[in-house]
Amino acid sequence: MASIVESGWRYLITNFNDFQLACLGSFFLHESVFFLSGLPFIYLERAGWLSKFKIQLVYEGAIPLAFQQNLIKITKNNSPAAQEKCITRLVLYHLCVNLPVMIASYPVFKFMGMRSSLPLPSWKVVSTQIIFYFILEDFVFYWGHRVLHTKWLYKHVHSVHHEYATPFGLTSEYAHPAEILFLGFATIIGPAITGPHLITLWLWMVLRVLETVEAHCGYHFPWSLSNFLPLYGGADFHDYHHRLLYTKSGNYSSTFVYMDRLFGTDTGYRKLKALKKAGVEDDGKEM
């Protein structure tokens, strides 16, 4: 397997220069992974398949009416028109914001030591760096996200991302351009300060995209990672954040749950989980 990866990488660095790989290659990889992983959730929603795993449908009727007063109703149902609007704006944002940022960031990454040459880094080095990126990104994202939920920034910036109270995979990157730049810093700060091999940066990008698409997919499956990794938030954790009023949402972390638990910003979510559990145990009767 290692020889296959190395041969493929040799082909890339032989036929493309560092700038092309780091900027255009990264952009193409991001777009491919993002849309190929996010589009299926649109079809799932339109077809109504696997609806028993749809998070907000599962919660309906299982919580008290008093608790439901905080739920937001904007874009409760994701119509085809709303989904098409999301896709159109995503393409615009990616071309006009993401791509220029990748190009502008290239000198910084090169200065910090990013390389694309052989030999490839060992899996020990790659895994250590990516674990570090996830931890650092989650910490920085948590605080940046909390700031975006202050009244003025929410109204003028972050409310764009919250147009979809029932998120689907592609809404993960649907946001105001200012937010893309602001929270995007959390994703690139780790690689920027460590100067990784480009293949490590690509792997980090792929994993981060898949994680955020899954967190916004709106479905909690038996095979969801949050069922197996205690500290992983996943879709159930983040879906709660989208369907409540901004002053009461909580669950600000991107990947893990410990920051919200540590600072007490997941109390509403834990209360809802307890209420749902009690409601299910009471034969589904509303409490």
Under 8 Å CB-to-CB from 101, ≥6 apart: which residues?
Answer: 180, 181, 184
The predicted structure's pLDDT at residue 258: 96
What value does the mean pLDDT of the chain take? 89
Residue 125 resides in a domain: yes
Question: Within the chain, which residues score under 70 in pLDDT?
Answer: 1, 58-77, 245, 247, 279-287
The residue assigned the tokens 């200065």 is 111
DSSP for residue 122: P
Structure confidence by residue, pLDDT tens digits, 89-130: 999 999 999 999 999 999 999 999 999 999 999 999 999 999
The predicted structure's pLDDT at residue 287: 34
Residue 286 resides in a domain: no
Distance in angstroms (rounded) separating the CA atoms of residues 137 and 158: 19
The predicted structure's pLDDT at residue 136: 98
Q: Where are the beta strands (DSSP E) in the chain?
A: none
Distance in angstroms (rounded) separating the CA atoms of residues 244 and 71: 5
Give residue 52's Cα distance to chain centre.
23
Q: Residue 268 sits in which domain range?
A: 2-281
pTM, two decimal places = 0.90
Q: Is the dihedral of CA 267, 272, 275, 281 positive or negative?
A: negative
* Count of domains for the chain: 1
The predicted structure's pLDDT at residue 1: 66
Residue 287 resides in a domain: no
Question: Cα dist. 11→24, 120, 126, 187, 203 in Å?
Answer: 16, 13, 21, 28, 18
